[in-house]
Amino acid sequence: MLVLNRKINESIMIGEDIEIKVISIDGGQVKLGINAPSQLEIHRKEIHLAILEENTQAASLDLDLINLLKNNSKNT
């Protein structure tokens, strides 16, 4: 993991298109501003993990449904 120190109004760049800027620091909380291409999805990590979990569950349900349909078509 790369660890960088930044002060308010300082930024880091990721590639050519993504800028992360420190907007404010208040106690133990840091506010970041992110400039990135609009087609790039940006989520807090806990939201990202929830989306992955929902996608995994949906894929599992789809697979169960496919198997059920497959078994029903063999029986007819």
Core vs surface per residue 11-40: b (16+ CB within 10 A) or e: eeeeeeeeebbbeeeeeeeeeeeeeeeeee
What is the model's pLDDT at position 21?
98
Query: Mean of the pLDDT values across residues 8-17?
Result: 97
Query: Mean of the pLDDT values across residues 39-61?
Result: 89
pTM: 0.69
Q: How confident is the model at residue 62 (pLDDT cuts 50, 70, 90)?
A: low
What is the model's pLDDT at position 15?
96
Q: pLDDT tens digits, residue range 25-45?
A: 999 999 999 999 999 999 999
